[in-house]
Amino acid sequence: MDYKEVAKHNAADSCWVVLYGKVYDVTDFLPNHPGGAKIILQLAGQDATEEYDPVHPPGTLEEQLPKSALLGPVDKTTIPQVEQAPADTPINSTPMASSSTPEPEAYTVPPLEDILNIGEFEPAARHLISRKGFAYYYSAADDLYSKHLNSSIYSRILLRPRVFVDCTSCSTSTTMLGSPVSLPIYVAPAAMARLGHPTGEQGIAQACATFGACQIISNNASMTPEQIVSGAPPTQVFGWQLYVQTERHKSEAMLGRIAKLPQIKFIVLTLDAPVPGKREDDERAKNVGANLPIKSAVQDDTSSSKSRPEGVPAKGGIGASLFAGTAPDLTWATTLPWLKKHTNLPIVLKGLQTHEDAYLASLYTPQVAGIMLSNHGGRAADTAPPSIHTLLEIRKYCPEVLTKLEVYIDGGIKRGTDVVKALALGARGVGIGRAALYGLGVGGPAGVERVFEILKAETETAMRLLGVSRVEELGMQHVNTRLAEREIYDGPAWVGVFNGRPKL
């Protein structure tokens, strides 16, 4: 089929696209597209493969479209040659506008073995990942204050090394919700891994298998859960992130699929981003997603902002486009009973940022088996507290929470000393997100393995210098938190103002 014929079908009443060298009529699919019709219409009559491939799991076409939608192959000799768009090029000469340390033009990506710390993966990834991919990974809300505080807070917690202690042996093994893991470091749910490398989330899973680490699969993964765990033994530990959809039947169907995968041991219900944060670096990348209306869970096409001229689309980036259909109406009273009907797996609540919510979560055990303290990598509410602040707040106002359920944290982990400090303060494990994505972008599965290798070695060194041979031996006696404690919430304690579970 001649490409000129395809180009004629570029409207809602007749919409064709080219994917992987084949022409598809997606006119009838427009109203059913999870991300909305506009994203398809902006590619109508064009070759959409480069935009489509990194963000859709293999097999999506076959699952979503009837066989009749396939019109045949396109004549590749008729496809016009176009100049590569800035959004599709690596950022080697155009670092992010808000990046604090732009890389020099002479920068050369080092081999994996020469990367010595987690911070060195970011500039390497900036040079190897497409501009739109790196922008999505790097971006955070507003002024990036919470993103940067996630990391810098660890410098305000000091270690208290001990001497004359036999440090010959050192084990980083622990458990997550009863499942044994070799590291207290897990991969937090991070979306769209195939933006960085073709192996995607399955490549991360392979690295996790090598180091015996847990991987929490993102609800917005670029591969299906079945593809990600394919080849993994039943003993490998995965979690599944759940964004509850406004159309509950979609979430229920996914939970049914998850129940058939023995590798997935628990469900992570994400609560810290019912609406997307304003991620300006993602918007600046000028990808197709950036031209979507900003779709929060409580907006639709009729209620979105009217502050722009008619016909001029608002921007939102990849991040905003992924939130289409996310439910804004979750509550303690309704969501947990609904979830209990559809899964028997332990529930971990992700995104808690106050001691009040941590205490409330502890009232819902045993269904709620754990909590993840997180500000969504600084990508939701800017100036929200880092997870270490929330952990210190829990220790101050309701320390009993630490004995009732397992507490995990993520955000800003860049050193083994960061891992050890979090564990000493009561965390069961710590999550890494961008580090895994950058590692994948730099070296595929081997790059993620290098991330784990560095963090494991640094964690073991810190444990030995503290006189600790096992993770469970770490405690408050190993850290000095006076500087950090000056910055945490100091208002009245909310705990204890009610009896039993509140009706919220």
Active site residues: 243, 272, 376
CB 438 within 8 A of CB 91: no
Locate 477 and state its tokens. 């006696």
CA dihedral (246, 322, 443, 187) positive or negative: negative
Phi, psi of 32 (to 5 degrees): -100, -5
CA dihedral (465, 471, 473, 477) positive or negative: positive
CA distance 498 to 504: 12
How many of the other CB atoms lie within 10 Å of CB of 480? Answer: 15
Of 186, 159, 176, which is closest to residue 421 (Cα–Cα)? 159
CB 95 within 8 A of CB 105: no
CB 448 within 8 A of CB 175: no
CA distance 33 to 44: 14
Locate 326 and state its tokens. 């996310």
CB 358 within 8 A of CB 328: no
Q: What residues form DSSP beta bridges with 16? A: 25
CA distance 370 to 103: 40
CB 388 within 8 A of CB 481: no
How does strand 185-187 pair with strand 429-432? parallel
The amino acid present at 377, given as its one-letter code, is G
CB 220 within 8 A of CB 246: no
225-237 burial code (b ≥16 CB/10 A, e <16): bebbbeebeeebb
Query: Crossing angle, helix 416-424 and helix 387-397, to 10 degrees?
Result: 20
CA distance 253 to 236: 23
Locate 54 and state its tokens. 């990194």
Of 360, 388, 362, which is closest to residue 497 (Cα–Cα)? 360
Of 390, 378, 388, 353, which is closest to residue 434 (Cα–Cα)? 378
CA distance 88 to 433: 22
Tell me the C-alpha to C-alpha distance, in Å, between residue 435 and each of 106, 131, 250, 253, 466: 24, 17, 31, 31, 25
